[in-house]
Chain A
Amino acid sequence: MSGALLYLPYAVAVWLFLAGAYGLVRSRHLVHSVLCLAVVQSSTYVLLLSIGFLAKAGAPIFNPPQVPPGSRSVDPVVQALTLTDIVVGATVTSLLLAMTIQIHRRKGTVDPHHLRLTRG
């Protein structure tokens, strides 16, 4: 893979982070906000996986004699991190969506601008 292309995943990670954050700032719907947060989080998936990427390398599953231990493979550590990260993300997303349902039930709106907390 050419040099410039190797940097593409990092650019995508930055883009996802900023796009998600921009979406959060402009959000007018709680479900939209929760999904924007998931977009921000997906930047971490892309970054982690691209850190572990290695050109012309297989999955980190060694199976002698075809794939002897120590043969060229992508980094399994970042894959494990990404999996854990996805689980964490699912927890946060589901909790936030549950809160969204509850607030809709109580207040009849999911527009964050109508949910401002009053000052003391």
Chain B
Amino acid sequence: MTYGFVHHLAPLAVAVPLICAAALMPLSRHLPRAAADAIATAAALAVTAMCAALTIASTHAPIVYWMGGWVPRHALAVGIGFVVDPIGGGLATLAALLVSSALVFSWRYFDSVGTLFHTLMLAFLAAMCGFALTGDLFNLFVWFELMGVAAYALTAQKIEEPEAIAGAINFAITNSAGAFCVLLGIGLLYGRTGALNPAQIGTVLAQRPADALVIVALLLITCGFFVKGAVMPFHFWLDDAHAVAPTPVCVLFSGVMVQLGLYAVARIYWTCFSPALGTHAAAVQALFIGVGIVTALAGASLAYSQSHLKRLLAFSTVSHSGMFVCAIALFNAAGAAAAALFIAAHGLIKSSLFMCAGIVLNRFKSMDEGALHGRGRSLPVTRAVYFAGALGLAGLPPLGISAAKVLFDASFERQAMLWIAAVVALASAIDAGAVLRFGLRVFAGIGVRAPGGPLPQTQPTETRSRNALSEKLTMLAPAIALPAISIWLALSGTFVHGVERAARLFTDQPAYAAATLAHRVQPWPGTAGEALDPSAYAINLAVCAGALLFALAGAFGFRLPGPLRAPFMAIRRLHSGIYVDYIAYMMFGIGAYGVWLILAR
């Protein structure tokens, strides 16, 4: 097989950030801060360009690159390869774009930060790209762990604060335990099929109906990746990590890292399990829809109950994870398209909201709704960006999520499961309502003041307090650019149709297997597109109105009566802030998922 120029971009997208990370580390004492910022940002932007080129090229035919030229013979893959399809490539592009934006944001955000931060950010980027592009299950685990280790260290960036380390430890222990579940599942698959290449595993598993071993492997892999994907009851680490991690790191966690966990579940489901599951797929679908709905609703109500902005946004991410799982659980191309577009648009908008949170934190040294009441009025541009993001989260056109929601609703309508779309719309309204309520109180001074102490006088170490123009520009520019990109994506018919086509390829196991294992490159099979129904945007406006109602009710201090509030408070109390409980919930979750999958056979 001869490789074109674009094929070499696949390994380069991982190698470039790793080499830059390794080069920055020993230079930490000699390199001025500005040089480290410039090198890291340039590397991240270069990776963005490479991943975008890969994604565009992969729409014609998959980009398959075998390390060391270990090309499959007789449809048997011994080597380790990268297989780039538009969905994987698109996620890598999103990761690189968000890392670039987070690095620009952090130029003026941190008072003092060593090049270790840049090293970790680039290692994190390399791991996310490798994770999205790899075509090998064991490598998927290794990238998953590299992604994890970089993320744990980044969470504990403020190493002087015991809370930051405690949050990082919760994150590290739960996610490592999840990674070991994934590895056990991959080990079982290897034991059954003798392969680590997902295309080959799928081909071998398809030869007979799924038995208990295959179901246990599916269970372990799903639960392990759901820890990263923040699906209940595996999500508990997420708000702890977001509350203590520096803002540029939160951007990456909520914007793309969590979604990569869900991507892995969908990818492995389609490439490995879908041909073998047969009638059992219905049980998996019921499980995914069930946990998706619970996660969406509970995440939204947890967000609503928060007065700490970073935790509020973190629970909003949990809620959206549930929505993505619902879309993936349709197990068809329309659902995958809705999930992919939703993940892209949510990543851009949620990142912008976290950057607004970072600007507020930078200015007032607090994230508390009560303490910040009315203070945001002195930040007019941030206020505008924040409100745009909050309404964008509810699906206000023309921001990106609006187009995703249209695909989402249409895909459920076609399956006669419109009630799921309705429940998700309710979760979305509560969730965006929580974000809006914080905005109304903090940026507009509307409503009664939430309980909370005065603004702290001490200066946390994370941020610098200068109020220079360059500071405003470098922090606001990415916060404005990312939602603007989401508008462009939603309005560009080419992009939306591209996502729909990409999803059809993503869910086409025979095409993936043929493309991966064939000796020659084969173009994707041709597909036709459908048009978006513009009247469907009306539902988005209804969700926005609902979000506004929830926000106003919250801002004016409306509370549910005690007995109705009790279940929400009970769920909230489960978030004990300590990993020993989280591991117990995780074991319970694996058991519960397992009982369902075995009983529902």
Q: Which residue of A lies closest to B581 (CB)?
A: A25
Query: Are A120 and B183 closer than 8 Å at their CB atoms?
Result: no
- Checking B149, B180, B576 against A41 with a beta-carbon cut-off of 8 angstroms, the contacting residue is B180
A95 and B584 contacting across the interface, CB-CB below 8 Å: no
Q: Tell me if A84 is interfacial: C-beta within 8 Å of chain B.
A: yes
Residues of A within 8 A of B308 (CB): 119-120
- Cross-chain contact B184 with A106 (CB below 8 angstroms): no
B159 partner residues in chain A, CB cutoff 8 A: 102
B93 smallest CB distance to A (angstroms): 27
**Are B152 and A44 in contact (CB-based, < 8 A)?**
no
Q: Could you say which of B188, B190, B312, B578 contacts A113, with CB atoms under 8 Å apart?
A: B578
- Beyond the given pairs A25-B581, A27-B580, A96-B169, 20 more chain A to chain B contacts, judged by CB atoms under 8 angstroms and listed by A's residue number, are A24-B580, A24-B583, A37-B177, A41-B180, A44-B187, A78-B190, A84-B142, A88-B142, A88-B145, A95-B172, A96-B172, A96-B173, A102-B165, A103-B165, A103-B169, A106-B162, A117-B243, A119-B311, A120-B306, A120-B368
Asked if residues B152 and A33 are in contact (CB atoms below 8 Å), the reply is no
Q: What are 19 A-B contacts defined by CB distance under 8 Å?
A: A13-B184, A17-B184, A21-B583, A21-B587, A24-B580, A25-B583, A41-B176, A44-B180, A91-B149, A92-B152, A96-B169, A112-B579, A115-B169, A116-B578, A117-B166, A117-B244, A119-B575, A120-B311, A120-B367
Q: When the two chains form their complex, are residues A51 and B190 in contact, meaning their CB atoms are under 8 A apart? A: yes
Is the CB of A26 closer than 8 A to any CB of chain B?
A: yes
A21 engages B579 (CB within 8 Å): no
B258 CB within 8 Å of chain A: no
**Contact residues in A for B243 (Cβ distance below 8 Å):** 117, 120
Residue of B152, B165, B180, B190 near A43 (CB, 8 A) is B180
Contact B190 A77 (CB under 8 A): yes
Report if A118 contacts B (CB, 8 A): yes
Q: Is the pair A30, B587 in contact by a Cβ cutoff of 8 Å? A: no
* CB of B59 closer than 8 Å to a CB of A: no
Q: Does A6 contact B (CB under 8 A)?
A: no
Are B196 and A120 in contact (CB-based, < 8 A)?
no
Given contacts A91-B149, A99-B168, contact A51 B311 (CB under 8 A): no
- For A74, the chain B residues whose CB sits under 8 A away are none
C-alpha spacing A78/B137, complex, angstroms? 13
User: Which residues 576-597 of B have a CB within 8 angstroms of A?
Assistant: 576-581, 583-584, 587
A108 CA to B1 CA, complexed, in Å: 60
Question: With an 8 A cutoff between CB atoms, is B307 at the interface?
Answer: yes
Nearest Cβ in chain B — how far from A1, in angstroms? 17
Whether A47 contacts B169 in the complex (CB less than 8 A), given A21-B177, A21-B583, comes out as: no
A99 and B169 in contact, given A47-B184, A84-B142, A120-B307 (Cβ under 8 angstroms): yes
Q: How far, in Å, is A95 (CB) from chain B's closest CB? A: 6
In contact, A40 and B578 (Cβ under 8 angstroms): no
The residue on B at minimum CB distance from A21 is B587
A41 surroundings in chain B (CB, below 8 A) = 176, 180
* A51 in contact with B187 given A30-B169, A84-B138, A119-B577 (CB within 8 Å): yes
Chain B residue with Cβ nearest A108: B162
- In the complex, what residue of chain B is closest to A107 when comparing beta carbons? B162
Given contacts A24-B173, A88-B142, contact A118 B165 (CB under 8 A): no
Nearest A residue to B452 via CB reads A120
Residues of A within 8 A of B142 (CB): 84, 88
For B576, the closest partner residue in chain A by CB is A116
Q: How far is B123's CA from A91's CA once the two chains are assembled, in angstroms?
A: 14
Report the minimum CB–CB distance from B512 to chain A (whole Å).
22
On chain B, the residues within 8 Å of A43 by CB distance are: 180, 184
| Residues in A whose Cβ lies below 8 Å from that of B167 | 117
B160 at the interface (CB under 8 A from A): yes
Q: Which 3 A-B pairs have the closest CB atoms?
A: A120-B308, A117-B577, A51-B191
Q: Within 8 Å CB of B153, what residues of A?
A: 95
Chain B residues lying within 8 Å of A96, measured Cβ to Cβ, are: 169, 172-173
Closest residue of A by beta carbon distance from B155:
A99
**Which residue, B149, B168, B173, B191, has most C-beta atoms of chain A within 10 A?**
B173
Residue A81 is within 8 A (CB to CB) of chain B in the complex: yes
**B170 near A: Cβ within 8 Å?**
yes
Contacts of A30 in B (CB 8 A): 169
- Pair B244/A99 contact, Cβ less than 8 Å: no
Closest A residue to B220 using CB positions? A17
User: A44 — which chain B residues lie within 8 A by C-beta?
Assistant: 180, 183-184, 187
B570 to chain A, nearest CB (A): 14
Question: CB within 8 A of A112: which of B168, B306, B580?
Answer: B580
Q: B37 at interface (Cβ–Cβ under 8 A)?
A: no
Residues of A within 8 A of B161 (CB): 106
Q: In the complex the two chains form, what is the Cα distance from A115 to B572 in whole Å? A: 18
Report yes or no: A26 in contact with B180, Cβ–Cβ below 8 A: no
Least distance between B587 CB and chain A CB atoms (Å):
5
**B585 to A, closest residue via Cβ:** A25
Q: Mark B537-578, 1 if CB is under 8 A from A, else 0.
A: 000000000000000000000000000000000001001111
**A30 and chain B: residue at smallest CB distance:** B169
Instruction: Indicate if B262 sits at the interface (CB-CB under 8 A).
Output: no
The reply to whether the CB of B508 lies closer than 8 angstroms to some CB of chain A is: no
CB-based nearest A residue for B138? A81
In the assembled complex, which residues on chain B have CB atoms less than 8 Å from the CB atom of A40?
176-177, 180
Q: What residue of chain A has the Cβ atom nearest to residue B78's Cβ?
A: A77
User: A48 vs B172: C-alpha distance in the bound complex, in angstroms?
Assistant: 23
- Distance of B151 from chain A, by nearest CB (Å): 11
Chain A residues near B431: list those with CB within 8 A.
none
A116–B240 Cα distance when bound, in Å, is 10
The answer on a CB contact under 8 Å between A118 and B577 is: yes
Chain B residues whose C-beta falls within 8 Å of the C-beta of A81 in the assembled complex: 138, 187, 190
A51: chain B residues at CB < 8 Å are: 187-188, 190-191
Nearest CB in chain B to that of A38: its residue: B176
Q: Say how far B205's CB is from chain A's closest CB, in angstroms.
A: 16
B124 to chain A, nearest CB (A): 14
Are A99 and B187 in contact, with the CB atoms below 8 A?
A: no
The reply to whether the CB of B156 lies closer than 8 angstroms to some CB of chain A is yes
Q: A112 — which chain B residues lie within 8 A by C-beta?
A: 169, 578-580
Contacts A99-B156, A117-B243: A106 and B583 contacting too (C-beta < 8 A)?
no
B173: contacting residue among A33, A102, A120, CB under 8 A: A33
